[in-house]
Amino acid sequence: MRKALALVLVCLALAVFFAGCGSKIGPGYDEKEVYIGLFVSTSGEIATFGTDTKNGVELAVEEINKAGGINGKQIKLIAYDTASKADEGKTAATKLATQDGVLVSMGAVASGISLAAAPEFQKYGIPMVSPSSTNPTVTQVGDHIFRICYLDDFQGGACAVFASKDLKAKKAAILQNQDDAYSTGLADFFEAKFKALGGEVVAKESYKKGASDFKTQVTNIKGKSPEVIFVPCYYNDVALIAKEFRAQDVTVPLLGGDGWESDKLIPSAGSALEGSYFGNHYSQEDDNPKVKKFVEAYKAKYGNVPSSLAALGYDVVYVVKEGIEKAGDFDRKKIRDALAGLKAFDGVTGKFDIDENRDARKPISMLKIEGERFAPVRQIKPEEVQ
Amino acid sequence: MQILLDNADFASRMLQQVANGLTKGSVYALVAVGYTMVYGVLALINFAHSDVYMLGAYFAYYPARWLGYMPDTAEKPKAPFWLMGMAFLGAMAACAFIGALIERLAYRPLRNASRLAALITAIGVSIFLQNVGQMAFGADPKSFPRYVDQSSVNLGVISVGNTSILIIVVAFLMMAALHLFVQKTRTGAAMRACAHDMKTARLMGINVDATISITFALGSAMAAVGGILVAMDQPRLTPTMGLLMGLKAFVAAVLGGIGSIPGAALGGILLGVAESLVGGLWDTTYAEAVSFVVLIVVLLVKPSGLLGRAGREKV
Amino acid sequence: MLKTLGILAAGIAVAFGFGLLVDNAVPPFWALIVNLCGVSIILAVSLNVINGLTGQFSLGHAGFMAIGAYVSAYFTTTLRYFDPEVAKYVSQQPLFDGVWGFAPALLVGGLAAALAGLLVGIPTLRLKGDYLAIATLGFGEIVAILLTNFKQVGGSKGLTGIPSYADTSWIYAFVAICIAFSLFFQRSTFGRALIAIRENELAAEVMGIRTARMKVMAFVYGAFFAGLAGGLYAHLFQTINPGNFNFMKSVEVVVMLVLGGLGSLTGAIVGAIILTVLPEALRDLEREIALPGFRMALYALILILMMIFRPQGIFGQRELSLKLLRRILPGGRK
């Protein structure tokens, strides 16, 4: 008992001694550099998305630093891998906030990881801008959390509008990955909007993460003869799913969201996706000189065509830059206010405002798969979906 | 009339689901054989078996890639028939070797240790192979070479993929051959003797170590075939592709009666069809839970499975 | 009994002192690791009762943890409002908050997990060794599938916006409680009965130990603390989803036990600390050599080598004590 008491006293004494040393965070810059954090998954299941994002970010940082930096300071990028795990999002965020003392942080791709990281940045008053977390709850964490992509409710709704108005479908089927919040979220928003537009969802089938046999689900969907099939999944599942639909002689178009986009989609799906559609953040074939310049620079640096995640990664750096420049000062509070009031930002992924929920209001580009091309069909604006 | 039509439609869909289940179940059976043989001899759940299945698929992928049959384009050149034969034989041989190697390095030192220690080691080997696979092959999925062109075959009211038929036929032939081997050859008799009573088998002059190595090699070769067949039907390779398959194949082995090869075949087919029918009749969300529910029910009601012999407690 | 209570009270006091120290003096990143260590310790110590003392083999600890995490988080997020539907539109004073919300929420989470332990424990009584392992694995997977399909708890998205109640003091208070209970149990008739079951179930039965009841008790006890650990985890990370509690999580806890030595309380604690700190230490290494998967492969290798060369773990069934230290350290009394 006496020993325990002594221990408590020692702890207390140490606590008093060290009090105040621990929880202070750095200013986020020094004479020459401004510290900006990045946390994306460059390993694990969703490594391709994180790697593309990081490539886009690094390209933008390089450009900005060459052009003289932000308000005369060079960007020092501090990047951590979150290994496709939510837990790692929290540890990375804590590290960025307290050990590295970043001024602003960027990340993550997956909403689950952003959700785990956001409370940390909110706690320390560090603005966090997610390039591509589409789940609506992400920015609800607090007033320091922003995003520059559209939301799942809009994305799912836009796909429903496209299915109903452009494809003139009355009967749709859904095939979702039941273990993935992105997939089930899109599926629910699509279903609600499609029904509101007078359509009928004739089948809603699910599969487990890691499954590669979709025969049962496809047979069920085939039995309901839908006119379009919504498959809100990631590209590597989509390729297998498409093959199975064609193997069972289902020829109606498939429809999906931004998870489809990958330069590996067509090589692994072959011709099974010919004539299918998906919604994306931008089109690589856009005539906009800004996009052209970006695509050229990216190709020169990495050797392949940039995915939309790379484009969002590129844009998020410029959003942060504009936020800091508008604030006029390296002060986190002022930067937060500047970001919250950002209007008509002109990026590679389109012109957009940051709205009162700290989300980006921007259109979605519907693309059609033709051979090895993603051909732009049309853009759907936020007003069309509401 | 409408009701009749609806029923005909319903019946044909269910028939289609049975065909789907047969395809799935044949692979379960093929992988389950490896679990059942090892368990029969060593009373060990060889968790690493599912990763040997994964390796089998990768071993059949790389030769085609090295020979230029895997360009990054939508249309891939068709790999010649001889290459497919080589891929099958090569992957089977390589997996047989790896299976025997795993036994030699990881399990043999523990043969007289507690079964728990062996089980933990097996889990360790499985995680090890998955992550070494990730390091060696990369975490991103790979598509599979065009060894066969997928097409669908019309069988009256249902249509079945040619790869499905291939899976069912090959799996059945392999298992029949294995069953004959175990029942009719001297080595097979030695395996049965070891499964029955290892100590006595040793006393009777059977080389127990060699027999166990052969058991692992045979089971692993079967897993390799399973891996390649599945990859032909569902052309996506990942280092974790064995995870779900391994769990289900093990359930199939338990359902059929662990230790029995015909049992593994029966258990695999039943489980595959049950999953498909639950998915077809009820909800695909719960189809995945079928195998785990089956597992727990079998373990509680009849742990010796459908065709297994009831074990006795050795005091 | 009195002595146990004394240890308990002292432990909680130390925990609060420790909490104050960590909150004020340790950089937040390391504080997070310290907190994670606490959760891991509770998990490992509770699993030790099932796997170590009783010699059963559960691979479903993550399932119990999930139940505790979800139930307690559901309490502190949705249920604490009188009417959650109304709360969406009107800012409403929560019915309970802070300590008054957290303590009962944790308790309910633990009890729910204990109930699950009872439900799993009774039917699986007749299973042994690897059959039990595979059945509990099945249980863990079923829990995950069910959680994924419950829209009320967010489906695959899980629960978000969980208040950050679990600080170092809270976590280590529960670590103290868990350890004190386990110490008490190990030395009580109950603990000795469990050890007897591990050593020889048949003999234990003959000696008049009601093995069935004891085994179920061990399950319920382990599940309760796993549920508490889950609740703490949820209020530390503030967001949970079914993917957090998969098979690999169960394996991780088993590895902690095996590393420290199945059956040793201090072994479980040391194993938990090593396996929580090691990944952080390896993270930078993994990044440097740019080989994802390296970390887990190393884990697995440690596990295999451990089993082959030192199956009893670092401590075996011994406990780390000052006496043992004195014997090991050079110059100590032999």
Question: Are residues A216 and B234, on separate chains, in Cβ contact within 8 Å?
Answer: no
For residue B146, the 8-state DSSP code is -
Average pLDDT of span A305-319:
94
Could you tell me the CA-to-CA distances from A189 to A18, B123, B308, C161 in Å, in that order? 51, 40, 49, 21
Check residue B160 and give its pLDDT: 84
Using a CB-CB cut-off of 8 Å, the residues of chain C touching A44 are 292
Q: Between A43, A86, A97, which is nearest C239 by CB?
A: A86
Distance CA C296, CA B131 (A): 6
B112-116, C231-235, C310-314, range with greatest mean pLDDT: C231-235
Mean confidence (pLDDT) of chain A = 89
Buried b (16+ CB within 10 A) or exposed e, B246-282: bbbbbbbbbbbbbbbbbbbbbbbbbbbbbbbbbbbee
Are the beta carbons of C45 and C212 closer than 8 angstroms? no
C99 touches chain B (CB under 8 A): no
Where do we find the tokens 């604006």? A381
Any domain includes C177: yes
Q: What is the pLDDT of residues B55-72, one digit of tens each?
A: 999 999 998 888 888 777
C158, A181 Cβ separation under 8 angstroms: yes
Contacts of A13 (CB under 8 A, 6+ apart): none
Instruction: Sort strands A33-40 and A74-81 into parallel, antiparallel or unpaired.
Output: parallel
Is A8 within the bounds of a domain?
A: no
B169: pLDDT strictly greater than 80:
yes
CA–CA distance, C235 with B68 (Å, rounded to integer): 53
Amino acid B305: pLDDT? 83
pLDDT at C283 over 80: no
Q: Which phi-psi region, left, alpha or beta, contains residue B179 (left: φ > 0; alpha: ψ -120 to 50)?
A: alpha
User: What pLDDT is recorded for position A5?
Assistant: 60
Amino acid at A155: Q
Closest CA to B285 of C144, A172, A186: C144
Residue C292 confidence (pLDDT): 67
Give the count of domains, chain A: 2
Nearest CA in chain B to C312: B117
In a domain, A24, yes or no: no
Tokens matching residue C249: 């999580």
Domain interval for residue C157: 2-245
Q: CB distance from A140 to chain B under 8 Å?
A: no
- One domain, residues A39 and A140: yes
Note whether A279 and A258 are within 8 A (CB). yes
From chain A, the residues in CB contact with C292 under 8 A are 42-44, 47, 81, 83
Higher pLDDT residue, A61 or B299? A61
Would you state the pLDDT for residue C10? 82
Q: What is the pLDDT of residues C45-84, one digit of tens each?
A: 999 988 888 888 888 999 999 999 999 999 888 766 544 4
- B128 CB neighbours in chain C (<8 A) are 297, 300-301, 304
DSSP SS3 for A380: strand
Tell whether A349 and A324 lie within a shared domain: yes
pLDDT score recorded for residue C326 = 59
Alpha-carbon gap, residue C28 to C24, rounded angstroms? 9
Q: How far is it, in rounded angstroms, from Cα C87 to Cα B253?
A: 51
**Which of A1, A5, A8 to mutate to probe the C interface, most C CBs <10 Å?**
A8
**Exposed/middle/buried for residue B162 (C-beta within 10 Å: 0-12, 13-18, 19+):** middle
Minimal CA separation from C118 to chain A, in Å:
27
Same domain, A145 and A157: no
3-state secondary structure of A186: helix
Q: What is the pLDDT of residue A20?
A: 46
* DSSP per position, C127-145: --HHHHHHHHHHHHHHHHH
Least confident of A35-49, A222-236, A318-332: A35-49
Instruction: Check CB contact of A74 with chain B, cutoff 8 Å.
Output: no
Q: What is the per-residue pLDDT for C138?
A: 86
Helix (H) or strand (E) holding B21: helix B2-42
- Residues B81 and B87: their CA atoms lie apart, in Å, by 10
Residues of A whose CB is below 8 A from C149: 178
Distances, alpha carbon A223 to alpha carbons A205, B11, B190, B280, C83, in Å: 12, 11, 51, 10, 42
Asked if residue A225 and residue A135 are part of one domain, the reply reads: no
Strands A277-280 and A345-347: unpaired
Tell me how close the Cα of B284 comes to any Cα of chain A, in angstroms: 6
Selection from C46, C61, C37, C56 nearest residue C247 by Cα: C61
Chain B residues in contact with C123 by the CB 8 A cut-off are 296, 300
Chain C positions in Cβ-Cβ contact with residue B250 (cut-off 8 Å): 134
Tell if the CB–CB gap between C294 and B131 is shorter than 8 Å: yes
CA dist A64 to A67, A319, B71, B135, Å?
5, 12, 36, 35
CA B53 to chain centre: 7
- As a whole number of angstroms, the distance between CA A256 and CA B66 comes to 34
Minimal Cβ distance to C296: which of B114, B131, B285: B131
Residue A352 backbone dihedrals phi, psi, to 5 degrees: -150, 160
Whether residue A40 is predicted with pLDDT greater than 80 in this model: the reply is yes
Here the tokens at position C26 are 């340790």
Is the CB of B135 less than 8 angstroms away from the CB of C301? no
User: What percentage of chain C has pLDDT greater than the value 70?
Assistant: 85
Which residue of C304, C305, C317 is the best one to mutate when testing the B interface, meaning the one whose CB has the most B CBs within 10 A?
A: C304
Q: In chain C, how many domains are there?
A: 1
Residue B12 contacts by C-beta under 8 Å, 6 or more apart in sequence?
A: B157, B158
Q: E-strand spans in C11-59?
A: none
The DSSP element (H or E) to which C270 belongs, if any, is helix C265-289
Give the pLDDT of residue C317.
Answer: 67
Which residues in chain A have Cβ-Cβ distances shorter than 8 Å to C39? Answer: none
Identify whether the C-beta of residue C66 lies closer than 8 Å to the C-beta of residue C243: no
pLDDT digits (tens, 9 = 90+) for C4-19: 777 788 888 888 888 8
User: Is residue C199 situated within a structural domain?
Assistant: yes
pLDDT digits (tens, 9 = 90+) for A103-155: 999 989 988 899 889 999 998 999 999 999 988 888 988 899 999 999 999 99
β-pairing verdict for A33-40 and A104-107: parallel
DSSP H or E run through A366? strand A364-370
What local confidence, expressed as pLDDT, does residue B227 receive?
Answer: 95
Q: Do A91 and C29 count as a contact with CB atoms less than 8 A apart?
A: yes
| Highest-pLDDT range among A116-120, A156-160, B277-281 | A156-160
pLDDT at A75: 95
Q: Which amino acid, A7? A: L
Q: What is the percent of chain C where pLDDT is above 90?
A: 22
Shortest CB distance from C311 goes to which of B113, B254, B289?
A: B113
Average pLDDT score over residue span C89-101: 60
Model confidence at A233: pLDDT above 50: yes
- Beta-carbon-side half-sphere exposure of residue A383 (alpha carbons within 13 Å): 0
The answer to whether residue A103 sits within a structural domain is: yes
Confidence at residue A6, expressed as pLDDT on a 0 to 100 scale: 64
User: Do residues A169 and A254 both lie within one domain?
Assistant: yes
Domain that holds residue A193: 153-280+366-385
The reply to whether B112 touches chain C by the CB within 8 Å rule is no
CATH of the domain at A220: 3.40.50.2300
For residues A342 and A143, give the distance between their C-alpha atoms in angstroms, rounded to a whole number.
14
User: Could you tell me which residues come within 8 angstroms of residue A238 by beta carbon, excluding any fewer than 6 positions away?
Assistant: A231, A254, A256, A259, A260, A265, A269, A273
Does A161 lie in the same domain as A120?
no
Contacts of B280 in chain A (CB under 8 A): 216, 219-220
Q: Does A324 map to a domain?
A: yes
Token duo for residue B209: 């170590």
Instruction: Name all contacts of A25-28 with Cβ < 8 Å and 24+ positions apart.
Output: A25/A97, A25/A98, A25/A101, A25/A124, A25/A126, A26/A100, A26/A101, A27/A101, A27/A103, A27/A330, A28/A101, A28/A102, A28/A103, A28/A104, A28/A126, A28/A330, A28/A332
Helix (H), strand (E) at residue A77: strand A74-81
Is residue C271 in a domain?
no
Q: Assess if CATH 2.60.40 describes domain B13-149+158-301.
A: no
Q: Give bridge partners of residue C219 from the DSSP assignment.
A: none
Q: Which of B37-51, C172-186, C305-319 bottoms out in mean pLDDT, i.e. has the lowest?
A: C305-319
> What pLDDT does B315 receive?
38
- Residue C60 domain-assigned (yes or no): yes
C-alpha–C-alpha distance, residues C117 and A251, integer Å: 49
Residue with more model confidence, B160 or A254? A254
Q: Cβ distance B70 to B191 under 8 Å? A: no
Which pLDDT band, with edges at 50, 70 and 90, does B104 fall under?
A: very high
Question: Any CB–CB contact under 8 A between B127 and chain C?
Answer: yes
pLDDT at B280 over 60: yes
Query: Which phi and psi angles does C157 have, rounded to 5°?
Result: -75, -30
Which of B76, B143, B243 to probe the A interface (max A CBs under 10 A)? B143
C-beta of residue A84 within 8 angstroms of C-beta of residue A110: yes
In a shared domain, residues A270 and A372: yes
Question: pLDDT tens for residues B192-201?
Answer: 999 888 889 9
Nearest to B33 by CA among B189, B261, B273: B261
**Domain ranges within chain B, ordered by starting residue:** 13-149+158-301
- B214-266 confidence digits (pLDDT tens): 999 999 999 999 999 999 999 889 888 998 899 899 999 989 988 889 999 99
Nearest chain B residue (CA) to C137: B292
